[in-house]
Chains A and B, each alone.
Chain A
Amino acid sequence: MIKLSLVYLLAGLVFATYAVLSVRDAANPKRWRNGAFWGLFALSFLAGDYLGDLGNGMLVLALAVIAGIGKLGQGAPAGPTPAEKFGSAQRLGNRLFVPALVVPGVVLFGTLVLKQVVLAGQPLFDPKQVTLISLALGAVIAVAVALLLLRQPLMAPLQEGRRLMDTVGWAALLPQMLAALGAVFALAGVGQVVGDLVTTWIPMDTKVVAVAVYCLGMAGFTMLMGNAFAAFPVMTAGVALPFLIHKFGGDPAVICAIGMLSGFCGTLSTPLAANFNLVPSALLELKDRYGVIRAQIPTAAPLLLINMVLMYVLAFRA
């Protein structure tokens, strides 16, 4: 059975290559710092299960210090000039889209077909991880197609991958870090404290107030935690179950579904949802780190209001 550990092995080898290429990149004045950062990240993928919890903790600490005190550099592998790229684009034409379409194609094939494949009584793919395994498989196949179809140099995928990885920089690590922070928040009981605060201080004696508190609470709490999944159990146990569902008899399906979507309005508005908001700023090379959030808030805020109205109208229709 192909499990996630194989994907981790692949990721570890790729990041280890980035580390070596970084160190050998004389054009980057911070080549040792970049090499150490991607090297430690590679170590996490390759040996994370053998380092022990404290070992992993030290590794995260080292990564944060390397990227946080002083900055990572930007690797600049030798590549074609803009004019050469333009010529290449004209010569290759729509063939350029083929490898780009291979990735979604393989993900589609993986989730629809390969998920069902059983070899010698064992599923081919770990059923819980089909999407990620398919994505990794798609990425590998697409690289092979790109090399053959577009006649690119053998090292180009790794050199160009390193260039993009340096463009993203520390932001690449932030989503995983925030997921780990969520675990520490859970250990410390942050959710319980916030939930108690909300329910102690706001009198929930009308439906309107309870709906508003639940939706605003989901959005606000999501903004603080960076994740609607962390907000949902707290706010639903604290507000939705006792008041909206049990006291006022609202439909749990409507309340929970729209409550979660109110949380998503918070996701659009917080830098703590890094993979939605900060990673694209880095990938698109925006000068304003919060540019994507600024573009989203005018959609998120009215939508939160609409969610409250929808919940009030739809949950108590009986």
Chain B
Amino acid sequence: MLILLGVALVVAGFAIGLNPLLVVVASALVTGMLAGHPLVEVLSAFGKAFNQNRYVSAVWLILPVIGVLERAGLQERARALISGFRALTLPRLLIGYLLFRQLTSALGLTSIAGHAQTVRPLVAPMAEAAAEAQGGPLDEPTRERIRAFTAATDNVGLLFGEDIFLAIGSILLMVGFLAQSGIVMEPLHLSLWAIPTAIAAFLLHSARLILFGRNIARTAPSEAGQ
């Protein structure tokens, strides 16, 4: 029971806005020690797991190319391209991206898009440009909300697409777990039953994007209607 204090520490630390790196380290040390392991052993276990999970951070290798493209004007070009298509409204753009992300993830291509690869350099500037084309210049809070919505759309598309692919980590985890429990299961059955939720996620998030687009058009400055 007492070890749940470590979990509570994480929740409290994030809630009051302490630096998350410190919160995580503190929680790891407290949890391990409350479970009866000596400090050195807990720190070693934490260090070992950190080292084994370096692949998680290797994705940052994408940043140099994104940076050099931004230097050469990629964001500006993405904006200009979208301003040329008047019919491409904010909801249509993001619903299109949602569909693209769900379909490619369902084919196992989870790494061809992402927050660093596509959202920051391409989709977020496009979304802002699409909103500006409809409703004129954006104020700062609206710009922030559009960016946040773009990142959210990427997440929804990825999470509710990837489980349709047979060989994704979560499906393999389920197959392995069920096998240990004496239930033999084909990956295909698990991925098939991910489809109803994927469709629901698409419809629900698309509906929210349409409402969000209307909301922005309504709060935009009055010259929008000309």
Q: Which residues of B contact A (CB under 8 A)?
A: 1, 3-4, 6-7, 10-11, 14, 17-22, 24-25, 27-28, 31-32, 34-35, 37, 40, 42-77, 80-81, 108-113, 115-117, 119-122, 124, 144-145, 147-152, 154-156, 159-160, 163, 169-170, 173-174, 177-178, 181, 183, 185, 189-194, 196-197, 200-201, 204-205, 208
A304 (CB) vs chain B CBs: closest residue: B197
Q: Considering residues A161, A253, A271, A294, which has the most beta carbons from chain B within 10 angstroms of its beta carbon?
A: A253
CA distance A132 to B67 in the complex (A): 20
- A257 near B: Cβ within 8 Å? yes
Chain A min CB distance to B18 (Å)? 8
Q: How far is the CA of A123 from the CA of B40 in the complex (A)?
A: 40
Question: Which residues of the other chain, B, contact A143 by a CB distance below 8 angstroms?
Answer: 64-65, 68
With A156-B68, A187-B42, A295-B148 known, 20 other A-B pairs at CB within 8 A are: A58-B47, A69-B22, A135-B62, A143-B68, A150-B72, A157-B68, A160-B63, A160-B64, A160-B70, A164-B66, A173-B21, A180-B24, A180-B53, A181-B28, A188-B32, A252-B183, A258-B193, A280-B115, A280-B154, A284-B147
Is the pair B57, A161 in contact by a Cβ cutoff of 8 Å?
no
Write the nearest CB–CB distance from A155 to chain B, whole angstroms.
Answer: 10
Q: A300-316 vs B: 1/0 string, CB under 8 Å?
A: 00110011001000100
Instruction: Give every chain B residue within 8 A of A57 (Cβ-Cβ).
Output: 43-48, 50
Contact A60 B73 (CB under 8 A): no
Docked Cα-Cα span, A3 to B46, in Å, equals 24
Of all chain B residues, the one with the shortest Cβ separation from A286 is B144
Could you count the A-B residue pairs with CB atoms below 8 Å apart for me: how many are there? 418
Residues in B with CB closer than 8 Å to A161 are 63-64, 66-68
Where the two chains meet, the residues of A that have a C-beta atom closer than 8 Å to any C-beta of B are 4, 7-8, 10-11, 14, 41, 44-45, 48-49, 51, 53-61, 63-65, 67-69, 79-80, 85-90, 92-94, 96-97, 99-100, 103-104, 107-108, 111, 129, 131-132, 134-136, 139-140, 142-143, 146-147, 150, 152, 156-165, 168, 170-185, 187-190, 193-194, 224, 228-229, 232-233, 236-237, 241, 245, 252-254, 256-258, 260-261, 264, 267-268, 271-272, 274-281, 283-284, 286-289, 291-292, 294-296, 298-299, 302-303, 306-307, 310, 314
Contacts of A194 in B (CB 8 A): 4
Contact of A188 among B6, B51, B181, B185 (CB under 8 A): B6
**Cα A252 to Cα B178 with chains together (Å):** 8
Q: Is the CB of B80 within 8 A of A253?
A: no
Cα of A57 to Cα of B50 in the assembled complex, Å: 8
* Cα separation A237 to B182 with both chains bound (whole Å): 12
Report the bound CA distance from A150 to B74 in whole Å: 11
A107-B109, A177-B24, A183-B45 are known contacts. Are A135 and B72 too (CB-CB below 8 A)? Answer: no
Q: Are B71 and A184 within 8 A (Cβ)? A: no
Chain A contact residues, majority secondary structure = helix
A187 CB to nearest chain B CB (Å): 6
- Return 8 A-B CB contacts under 8 Å, by A number: A45-B54, A60-B25, A64-B19, A85-B73, A100-B122, A176-B56, A261-B159, A279-B115
Q: CB < 8 Å: which of B14, B46, B69 contacts A99? A: B69
B205 contacts A156, CB within 8 Å?
Answer: no
The answer to whether B56 and A275 have CB atoms under 8 Å apart is: yes
Are the C-beta atoms of B63 and A165 separated by less than 8 Å? yes
Q: Are B72 and A92 in contact (CB under 8 A)?
A: yes
Question: A310–B185 Cα gap in the complex (Å)?
Answer: 20
Report whether B19 and A53 are in contact in the complex, using a CB–CB cutoff of 8 Å: no
- Contact A132–B71 (Cβ < 8 Å): no
Report which of A11, A65, A180 forms a contact with B28, defined as CB distance below 8 A: A180
Whether the pair B43, A108 counts as a contact (CB closer than 8 A) is no
